[in-house]
Amino acid sequence: MRTLKNIFLITALSLISSYAFGQAKYWEDPKYGPDSASRVKAMENRSVYRGFLKNKNYKDAYEPWSYVYKNAPKASQNTYIDGVKILTWKIATIKDEATKQKYVDSLLAVYDNRVKYYASSKKKVLDRKALELLKYRPDATEEAYGYINEAIEAGKNKSTDIAIYYKMKLAVTLFKEGKKDAEEVLTSYTKMCEIADYNIANNPKEAKDYTEAKSNIDKEFAESGAASCENLIALFTPKFKATPNDLELLKKISTLLGDNKCTDSELFAKASENLYKLEPSANAAYRLAQVFAKKGANDKAKEYYLKAVGTETDNVSKANMLIELANLVNTNMSNPQEALKYAKQAISADPKNGNAYKMTGFIYASVKNYGGDDVSKKAVYWLAVDYFKKAKAVDPSMAADMNEKINTYSKYFPADDRLFFYDLTEGQEYKFEGWITETTTVRSAK
């Protein structure tokens, strides 16, 4: 009975025969060896190992493949592609670590020899070599980084999506290990984004892969620790000046500076304003309002709070924006009358928001010299306490804070003798005149 190996050998010889009659005479082709005898042997081994490989018999494919790999290195690029499959299988079967690493060396050499004999493959081979190295030797980050850099140097704008992502990932890893500086991370980020952008625009078949790579590059950079405010501003300022209305650039500046708490910078403010002009939204306006409020640009902050409120459709979010606007107008712009309007709008938007009532209470407590007599001037504290009570009623978690406020401001109520002087008594209804249009209850200080 014929063995399986014999069957493959017969099949291989049949293939050789077909090759001889159907194509050029392989025994005259120098890529198979220096003379006809070696060329015949190389062709025999090539056909045999490929037969085994077709049936995923990596064990029996190894020896004939090794012969072709060593003796006919120019026979075909498939020798190297097949070698990766065979050696990967072999490494997986070896338990002894020292022996395994010898075969890892052999696997890495396959990539080197492919580049040696097929130089055009360099840009798509060395990044794979880097990944193989990291797979079997995770600590070899510097060596892998070197291979990635070679691949990108060879590929330039046509570098693979895998290469540009790992260039960024390894730059960040080495930075965190103290082996590269922040400038290396910034430079890597800039160049890899440029390559990604080029392929997204000019390589439609793989645009999706490069878009995903770019997203991952952004994430690596944002989490690198090298993305300090100083570094980010230095990186993006010249880009912003060159293309101040580039939508993608503006989104990137806004996101990266925002995520890294660089919102005090002039660059963030300018980029965010330009982004809002191109893509207005409640959230974009709200971020700008907070930026300008922090910078003390109160009119600008108010402008963007109003834009945010005007376009926000979620009432809970709208109420929070209105509370911040009321605080800005009352505290920074000394306009309690207008601030009260926004606080009342917050209550209307979200009646369950305790902070809306608390803010209303603070506004009333901040009013100075309201009315024409000493009781009228202190009557605003009755309203302040009323709203502090409402705050804890709608949000019991605020009870302790509100009780403290109630105790504090109740001390500013008019004294009994002043109530008597103005013919007022405890529990009597009291109606305000002027821009405060509310009604409350007369109380005296305790």
Alpha helix stretches (DSSP H) within 94-206: 97-117, 122-136, 141-155, 161-176, 182-202
Q: Is residue 235 a part of any domain in this protein?
A: no
Question: Is 102 inside a domain boundary?
Answer: yes
Asked whether residue 92 is domain-assigned, the answer is yes
Contact of 356 with 319, CB cutoff 8 Å: yes
Of 7-21, 44-58, 94-108, 297-311, least confident by mean pLDDT is 7-21
Alpha-carbon torsion angle 364, 367, 369, 374, nearest 10: 30
Q: Which residues, at least 6 apart from 178, have a Cβ–Cβ distance to it below 8 Å?
A: none
pLDDT average, residue stretch 372-395: 93
The average pLDDT across 267-283 equals 93
What is the tally of structural domains in the chain?
1
List of long-range contacts for 284-291, beta carbons under 8 Å, 24+ apart: 284/254, 285/311, 286/312, 286/321, 287/254, 287/258, 287/263, 289/321, 289/324, 289/325, 290/263, 290/324, 291/263, 291/264
Residue 81 inside a domain? The answer is: yes
Residue 51 lies in a domain: yes
Calculate what percentage of the chain has a pLDDT beyond 70. Answer: 94
pLDDT digits (tens, 9 = 90+) for 15-71: 444 444 334 566 778 888 888 899 999 999 999 999 999 999 999 999 999 999 999
pLDDT tens column, 125-180: 999 999 999 999 999 999 999 999 999 999 999 999 999 999 999 999 999 999 99
Residue 79 confidence class, pLDDT cut points 50, 70, 90: very high
Asked whether residue 44 is assigned to any structural domain, the reply reads yes
Percent of the chain past pLDDT 90, that is, above it, reads 76
Q: Which amino acid is at 83?
A: G
In angstroms, the CA 82 to CA 96 distance is 24
Residue 12 resides in a domain? yes
Residue appearing with tokens 């995520």? 259
30 occurs within a structural domain = yes
Domain carrying residue 44: 1-117
Mean pLDDT of the chain: 91
Output the pLDDT for position 135.
96
- Yes or no: say if 100 and 91 are a contact pair by the CB < 8 Å rule: yes
- Which residues, 6 or more positions from 8, have their beta carbon under 8 angstroms from its beta carbon? 48, 51, 52, 60
**Does pLDDT of 123 surpass 50?**
yes
- How far apart are the C-alpha atoms of 367 and 378, rounded to whole Å? 9
Task: List, in sequence order, the alpha helices (H) in 296-334.
Answer: 298-311, 315-327
pLDDT (0 to 100) of residue 1? 38
Residue 9's pLDDT band, with cuts at 50, 70 and 90, is very low
